[in-house]
Amino acid sequence: MTEAELMELLALYMQNNMLGFSLYLTITFAYLVVAFIAGSRLSRFQAIAASALYLFAAFSTAMSTLVNLNLVNLVTAQSEALLQLNGPPTNFWIIYMGTVMFVGIIVSLYFLFDVRRRADT
């Protein structure tokens, strides 16, 4: 594969990464708005169903983001020009983004729980 093709692949994977992360943010903020506005009025089943749907969507987009970051590392490792521009591939972004998204999921679920608990008191 030529350097130009590898650079095009890198741009594609980075674009997919950013799309996955922006979808993750969209899904998370939509869940938080629903939790804030309607969380206290949701039945237990509705809260569990909304949380399950959120978990599925958030984990799917998070995994997509992490897979694309891994592909960025693989493409960078194959190109001498990309290695000079970016340095050697590291797992920093994979660990960082994975941690940020995982913590975001946990905090979002707790947010709904907290809204519902405060409504009960």
Q: Which residue has the tokens 């995982």?
A: 102
Q: Which residue shows structure tokens 């984990």?
A: 59
On the question of pLDDT at 120 being above 90, the answer is no
Q: What is the pTM of this model?
A: 0.86
Boundaries of domain holding 29: 3-120
Name the token pair of 19.
């799309």
3-state secondary structure of 91: coil
What are the tens digits of pLDDT across the range 89-110?
A: 778 989 999 999 999 999 999 9
Contacts of 33 (CB under 8 A, 6+ apart): none
pLDDT at position 63 is 95
**pLDDT tier at 121, thresholds 50, 70, 90:** low
Q: What is the pLDDT of residues 25-77, one digit of tens each?
A: 999 999 999 999 998 888 889 999 999 999 999 999 999 999 999 998 888 88
Tell me how many domains the chain contains: 1
Please name the residues in contact with 14: beta carbons below 8 A apart, sequence gap of 6 or more. 68, 72
